[in-house]
Amino acid sequence: MENIKQEILDHTLIITINREKQLNALNSATILELSTALDEAANNAEVKSIILIGAGEKAFVAGADIKEFAHFSAAEGAELSAKGHELLFNKVENMNKPVIAAVRGYALGGGLELAMSAHVRVASDDAKLGLPEVGLGVIPGYGGTQRLAQLVGKGKAMEMIITADMIDAKDAHQWGLVNHVVEPEKLLEKALSIAKRTQRNSPVAINAAMKSVLANYEDGVNGMQEEIKAFGRCFGTEDFKEGTQAFMEKRKPQFPGK
């Protein structure tokens, strides 16, 4: 992989987007590498959670690679948008393990869209977040119009999108766009500590719970019904037997993840 680095630390896969000189802008090669890494992580039992982070101090990801898409036609744009959703953004959101975005510096355009696809966002206090696409004559094309409104509400999303303004970490936190703000030196530590806390719990239940939360945002799907079905399925899992047994035996559960 030329554009990303991977390291497993204590069952957490840290994926670093590694195009520091280009502020980690997402070109197609990077999107493909991230997609492959996520596929592998989904099937790797050693990996229980995933952190996405950008190389260097200046940016998480400063957007899709403008130099690459500048010459696209309308048809190519639509096709690539659909492919991008499938290859990366929806894949992150639908991962079977928690994905945490650790945002330092710029998270713009496709970069913020990537962070918004993750299940949890932690930012450093020097982060700057925005969807500047309309300033380039396009609109957010990797889910930004949908996920931003889901996270911060319609009014604030509209303002951010049509002004193309960036907001700082403090506003992002207040608006609910990021879960935590920490000093830059503590960013990875904070993301790792959240990852670690998820790892005490049943991986099967976590996956089912994440899918149930997301069901609310799917067209034609009744989230409450999905929750009821997923809840029922939990009763047939080994994790459920272990979790309840461990409680009664006053010990910590050892979830088999089945």
Residues acting as catalytic residues: 113, 133
CA separation for the pair 193, 178 (Å, rounded): 16
Compose the 24-53 pattern: x for residues touching ligand DAK by CB under 6 A, - for all others.
Answer: -x----------------------------
List the one residue from 29, 42, 47, 136 that touches ligand DAK (CB under 6 A).
136
Q: Which stretch binds ligand DAK (CB under 6 A): 1-9, 107-115, 200-208, 216-224?
A: 107-115
Distances in Å between the Cα of 34 and the Cα atoms of 12, 18, 92, 250 are: 16, 11, 9, 41
List the one residue from 12, 38, 63, 115 that touches ligand DAK (CB under 6 A).
63
Of residues 147, 146, 119, 143, the one with CA closest to residue 38:
119
Q: Is 60 in the site for ligand DAK (CB under 6 A)?
A: no
Q: Is 229 in the site for ligand DAK (CB under 6 A)?
A: no
- Whichever of 98 and 110 has its CB closer to ligand DAK, that residue is 110
Task: Please check whether residue 140 is in contact with residue 108, taking contact to mean a CB–CB distance below 8 angstroms.
Answer: no
CB of 57 to ligand DAK, least distance (A): 11
Residues contacting ligand DAK: total by CB under 6 A = 25
List the one residue from 7, 10, 36, 77 that touches ligand DAK (CB under 6 A).
77
CA separation for the pair 38, 112 (Å, rounded): 18
CA separation for the pair 42, 36 (Å, rounded): 10
- Whichever of 144 and 203 has its CB closer to ligand DAK, that residue is 144
Q: Which stretch binds ligand DAK (CB under 6 A): 4-12, 43-51, 129-137, 228-236?
A: 129-137
Q: Is 54 in the site for ligand DAK (CB under 6 A)?
A: no
CB of 61 to ligand DAK, least distance (A): 8
Task: Please check whether residue 77 is in contact with residue 32, taking contact to mean a CB–CB distance below 8 angstroms.
Answer: no
CA separation for the pair 32, 87 (Å, rounded): 7
* Inter-helix orientation angle 203-215/238-248, to 10°: 120
List the one residue from 60, 89, 142, 255 that touches ligand DAK (CB under 6 A).
142
In the beta sheet, which residues pair with residue 68? Answer: none
* Ramachandran angles phi, psi of 119, nearest 5°: -85, -25
SS3 61: strand
CA separation for the pair 214, 87 (Å, rounded): 18
Interface positions with ligand DAK (CB under 6 A): 22-23, 25, 62-67, 69, 72, 77, 80-81, 84, 106, 108-110, 132-133, 136, 138, 141-142
